Each structure stands twice: as structure tokens, then as C-alpha cells.
Amino acid sequence: MNLLFIADPLESFKPYKDSTYAIMVEAARRGHALSVMLAGDLVWKAEWVVGRTHPVRLTGLSGNGPWFERGAAEWHDLASFDAVAMRTDPPFDQAYLYATWLLEMAERQGARVFNRPRALRDFNEKLAIARYPQFIAPTLVTCHADLIREFLAEQGDIVVKPLNAMGGASVFRLRPDDANLGAILETITRYGRETVMAQRYLPEIKEGDKRILLIAGQPVPYCLARIPAEGETRGNLAAGGTGVARPLAARDWEIARALGPGLHDAGLLLVGLDVIGDCLTEVNVTSPTCFQEITQQTGFNVAGMFMDALEREVGGAA
């Protein structure tokens, strides 16, 4: 196959942990050709969507130079690739939104995009949990500080977070006696102009914020429990959490099996569910990660499972 990855600059990758890197390595091992581009290099011209792409060859990890060789830029119709993997990291901002519209136009011209652009828009990574109320903790979505204060009084201990960030950015734990409560609510809601999510604090976070990966609707049999650093309430690896791979628990299987088929039918080949204790907290669809940590600790080839699914999807459409 000829594969195109729409991703952040390769120079920004951390090869020891990056899931897109793991997918690229597995794809190259199978003999597939690789190209890369930035989302900002999508162009609609003369009623057609094209991309400024670069062929890339993986050179391996060493201390003597980069892990890739990037060829000269070329303009290509996205439908000329067998598959296009949209792997740009959040935030889901205006630029990301525009990219999904252009990619949807490319789909109508024959491009095969994973995850599908419409699904990326339809499944906000925080708000998507509202589709599955049987699995979530008490939750409030609002831009009104007074409603968050009421929710805090009811729950006694909550977490508030923006709807478009990643890696634990701007996540706050709040309690009624917090001296900075007013300032935090003003900041995170931008004085009532920004809608945020508030959830009851789940003390099980101390045992890890579990990332459960779904590939073509099927769960990877291991999750990565991201355990907060001392003095932290966030388990995100980007916030200093420690990742520990574990077999899925019974509740994890229940959630994964309930959500998997519908998410796949919606056009989501790869999804990362976040589960704390018994509660679903997020449905990550933009660029789910944790491939390498799970593989390194368990021996289960997550990238291999992903490439098996991608090859089936592309082969089935041929």
C-alpha cells in the first residue's frame, strides 16, 4: 500500500513513545510506502483537494542523526494514496476543523481517510461520553460559573477541563473551600465565554487513568493505567504520570465491547477510551496513543493489530 500520514512535524516526534512512529515502523516493515504531510498543506484548487506531501524513508534510531529521510515535496491528489491516516494532535481548533472539511471533500473524490473526517467532528473527545450515560460519572457541561459552583456543592469534589485540549492541559480539581475557586472558574470559562466540562472527582484516579484502545471496534486486551505523580490529580503521561500496562478488567471489557462496534460503524478505526475506576471519562479519536508503552510492557503488538485492521479496511474496499 501507499500510505499518507497527516501528522505534526516529524522533528517533533518522540520515537521512543510516539504511536504514529510505531505505526509507521510497522507499515514499513510490511513493505508499504510512506508519505507525510502537514494538515496546513491541504489545498482546495480548481475544485479538487490536493496535498503537499513528502515521501519518507525510515532510517532507524541512532545517535548519529534523524530517524527518517524526507524526500522532495510533491503535490498529490489524496485519492492517489491507498489510505490517509489523520494523526494530527489536538487542540481541535479552527485549523483542525478546516482540515476535516477539506478531508471530507477529498473523501468525495475517492480518498480513504482514517479516522473519517465527519467522525472526528461528531465525536468531541470530552462531549462524546454523553452518548453513553450508563458508563459515566455525574457530569456538567456549561460556561456558567454559578452552575459549576452549584455542581461543586452537590458533588463536594470535582474536576473541570476544557473541551478541546489534550495531555491534561488546564485540568483543575476543585473543592468548595478552594481559595482560588473564583479565579479558576473565571480563567477556565474565560469569564463565561468558554464552555467547559465538570465531572465528579473519582478517587480511583490514584490507581490510574486507564487508556483502552479500540481498533476496528475490537479492544486491545491490555490497557495503559496512567498513574499520577506524587501530589498530582492528573494521570496523563504529559503531566508526569507513569504508565503501567494491565490486562483489561471485567468492567473495561464491558465498556469496550458496548462502544466498539458503534464507534467503528461511525468511521472510527482507532479510538482511545479513558476509564477511571468504573467510569468512562473521555472518547479520544484525534490521535490516540499508548501503543508503544503497551507493546513494550506486554509484548502485544498494538501497531501490528492496527495495520492488520487498516489492511483489511483498504483491501475490503478494493
Which residues form the catalytic set? 126, 161, 211, 226, 234, 274, 282, 284
CA distances from 8 to 68, 87, 124, 243 (A): 14, 8, 20, 23
Which of 184, 153, 175, 4 has the alpha carbon at shortest distance from 76?
4
